[in-house]
Amino acid sequence: MRLKNHVRLEFFSRPENVSLARTCAAACAAQVDCTLDEMEEIKLVVSEAVSNCIIHGYDNRADEKIVMELNLYENENLEIIIYDYGRGIDDIDQALQPAYSSVPGHMGMGFVFMKSFMDYMNVESSPGDGTTVKLTRNLGQRSNQALA
């Protein structure tokens, strides 16, 4: 796969930066022929991943670092990598289960949404060393299938 564009964004773990990350990802997705639905799904996935970093990785501490990398390939694959240096996830399999949340009162659907809207999702984490979420979506592929 040949890389068409690469963006690396580093920002503080502040709630107002969720919209910054969403906008950046949408702008990257807009560089190919994607649908509005695809763009909204990308924005939702980024919101969930960045919010997880803030809430679960950093316990809402506002001045920690989150990094988002966007790789757009010529075959219209968009790869989104979001990572933090927070507390990490003790049990990834449990965290991926629907309705599980480490924070009482939260829905626990973030990873479920991410997985349902993306073609590929991988979560790597080490307790005390942070979490990396890698997501891939072939933009245009699902809309082309709907037309067939």
What are the pLDDT digits (tens) for 27-84?
999 999 899 999 999 999 999 999 999 999 999 999 999 999 999 999 999 999 999 9
pLDDT at 104: 64
148 vs 61, higher pLDDT: 61
Architecture of domain 3-147: 2-Layer Sandwich (3.30)
Instruction: Please give the full DSSP string across 48-116, using - where no structure is assigned.
Output: HHHHHIIIIISTT-TT-EEEEEEEEETTSEEEEEEEE-SS--S-HHHHTSTT--SSTT----HHHHHHH
Each residue of 29-45: b (16+ CB within 10 Å) or e?
beebebeeebbebbbbb
Neighbours of 66 (CB within 10 A): 26
pLDDT at 95: 78
Query: Which distant-in-sequence residues (6+ apart) come within 8 Å of 3 by Cβ?
Result: 71, 72, 73, 74
Q: Where are the domains of the chain?
A: 3-147
What are the pLDDT digits (tens) for 112-141?
889 999 999 999 999 999 999 999 999 976
Average pLDDT of the segment spanning 101-111: 69
pLDDT at 108: 64
Q: Is the pLDDT of residue 21 over 90?
A: yes
